[in-house]
Chain A
């Protein structure tokens, strides 16, 4: 794959609240290269959306703060964490696009679809109104909407959920961004429409060679689209690897738990699903040791005292778990994880 388009290093984001400081993101690092699809996987509150929105600088400050020592280097030249709002406006929408989860609340209900798409084009590419509208119609055709010339005059409420999400995608692609951030792009959609949108995103990604950060809790969607995966828990990356590393050779007990709690169409109905007992920790006061230790069936004394660094499994694959320390007892992957576990 190509050169790095985004390098995030030791990103820490906190929210200052009345009750104290919520440490939503606690030292996240990853790199995404040109043409890659990186999936960020994790459950509510793990910091995946805060990470994505911080890359776009969409979270107001206060209450959010990017902490000292964090770095978000975009396209090798823009240090996002230090940019002013005015500088950010040149990047946001032009070089980075975003697809939100809920297409109803993220589109402007008082503007026609065409006006919304052409707004960004006119701002960043200095096209005339007519030329921008024409480009908007082309984009709608690209995302699979028929009668684009009529659609540009419609309002969001006249469209179905799937069509609105297509408009969102057209909007995010309007200025040929180098990086697309898709935050739960199909979660609000029905499963047959979800399949259509995933096909569309993958198709566009291959045609335009755009890099995509895909944020989702749906491991099925990840399996369809991603090249690389990072698994987040309580504001940290607990495991990173290629698609095959994470699905077929996962090394972190939390990743095991996530993979095992998904029911499969061919799973045995008489067995219980494997759930992860308990709930994630409170990020007002994150635990001293590994954040997952309290829910981890393999937790050792050291896990409660010292937070593990990432141990390398291979060049692309690492996991923050003491079980990978050379002196740790050997624990095999549980049943139901790894290749061939899906029948």
Chain B
């Protein structure tokens, strides 16, 4: 079933060289695959490397090591036409709908830019295409002549989605696309993502820190901690039977909006702080906050292994 995978990430690394010979290992050896038509959620707390992963996959950053295979081809070796084709097939939706749209361009221009660069449509066809995209994301044609500042946050995120869709990509990386929005608007945008996926057979890499929302939209979820994947499983499995102690504490830390349940819950909140990624702990990165840490955890990094079919975790307890 290997041909089912639209994206394969193999031992991906992204290290940043800082002043004074320090190296920030933002992403350190990730392995996962994304199947065509699914939504893969990537969660973790700030600084865990989830955004860097997304940006490295789409080559906003050059990888330090490892491979990203898109439709079986090595993304980092692409050049010329292959590279241009790659950027047509993979698009990104950014977190901040205020900062990611050019304030001096009209919405119509913003959406049409990709169409022009890739020479897909021109003249009236292009205009019709932009109008269609606006309707698809729940805006209307008259919005094409307006500027980004005339829109609310939720509407701007719709514009960002229309821009990503304009050149008919197969794969969209959404980096915290809803975290700047109000709760009721978040739900609107998530519903839009799901509707578009159904209509167009899109594949998503959905990056967010809100596990409840990620669980709602994703088929499978990867949990990151300090530059490493600690667990990958289907969304339901991850919720019902999290294997890694970090996933367990992440789940139990989410406050549930139901006072009765909240009172009865037994929570395992990890002690202390997330260590600095500049100076990560030896062995397992979570061991400094893990309630089950053993001497072995400090010595070696536990292997990322398939505990049950399709359920991977990196922990010495397993």
Contacts and interface: CB of A to CB of B under 8 A. Distances in A.
A273 B215 contact: no
B260 A43 contact: no
A244 B259 CA distance: 7
B216 A269 contact: yes
Interface in A260-306: 261-267, 269, 272-277, 279
Interface residues of B, number: 44
A25 to B, nearest CB: 18
Contact of A192 (B45, B182, B262): B45
Interface in B247-295: 249-262, 267, 269-270, 273-274
Given A275-B188, A279-B154, A190 B258 contact: no
Contacts of A272: 191, 194
A265 B262 CA distance: 13
B318 interface: no
A258 B184 contact: yes
Nearest to A217: B183
Contacts of A221: 255
B254 A265 contact: yes
B185 A275 contact: yes
Given A190-B209, A265-B251, A43 B182 contact: yes
Contacts of B217: 269
Interface string B154-187: 1100000000000000000000000000111111
B256 A342 contact: yes
Contacts of A247: 257-259
Nearest to A43: B182
Given A243-B259, A269-B235, A275-B185, A163 B152 contact: no
A201 interface: no
Given A221-B255, A275-B184, A163 B273 contact: yes
B257 A192 contact: no
Given A218-B255, A263-B187, A275-B187, 18 more contacts: A43-B183, A192-B250, A192-B270, A192-B274, A195-B267, A195-B269, A196-B269, A217-B183, A261-B183, A261-B186, A262-B183, A264-B212, A266-B239, A273-B216, A279-B152, A279-B154, A342-B257, A342-B261
